[in-house]
Amino acid sequence: MNVPSATETTSKTTSTGSPTATSSNSVDYNTFLQLLVAEMKNQDPTNPMDTSQYMSQFAQLSTVEQAMQTNTKLDALLSSQALSQADGLIGRTVSFTDSTGASFTGKIASVSINSDGSIATLENGTKVAIGPGLTLS
């Protein structure tokens, strides 16, 4: 049985016939099972691995996979919550003071969400980061 390295770069051919290089930096469930089967096939028959160790490895992998799925679902939930909050800001009036001390007031026309947070665009085109120091009305 040919067991690939968990982090080795492999070359695959796409449907158009052009090769693409893919890299896997994590061990998925199938790779783990392949490694486990290879370990079982190549173990010393006079001193086999304890079955509780196998079960422990399965449990650890299962726990990590569930944690990764939970993180993915939490990210989606946080994005959904941010969109809901952004929707509630559109049409509201915001007042703020910038770093130079100038005061601005305007109606929020749109809100964009990126990795740094939410940015409100006012009707006059001014962009302001949603955060402390804003007054909404």
The residue extents of the domains of the chain are 26-43+56-89, 90-136
pLDDT at res. 67? 87
- CATH class belonging to 90-136: mainly beta
Tens-digit pLDDT profile for the chain (137 aa)?
Answer: 454 544 444 444 455 554 544 445 566 777 877 887 888 788 887 887 777 887 887 788 888 888 888 999 998 898 888 888 888 888 888 888 877 888 888 898 888 888 777 888 888 888 888 878 778 88
Listing DSSP states for 63-97 in one string gives HHHHHHHHHHHHHHHHHHHHHHHHHHHTT-EEEEE
pTM of the model: 0.48
Between the alpha carbon of residue 39 and those of residues 32, 77, 103, the distances in Å are 10, 39, 68
For 4-42, the pLDDT digits (tens) are 544 444 444 455 554 544 445 566 777 877 887 888 788
Between the alpha carbon of residue 103 and those of residues 62, 131, 136, the distances in Å are 54, 16, 14
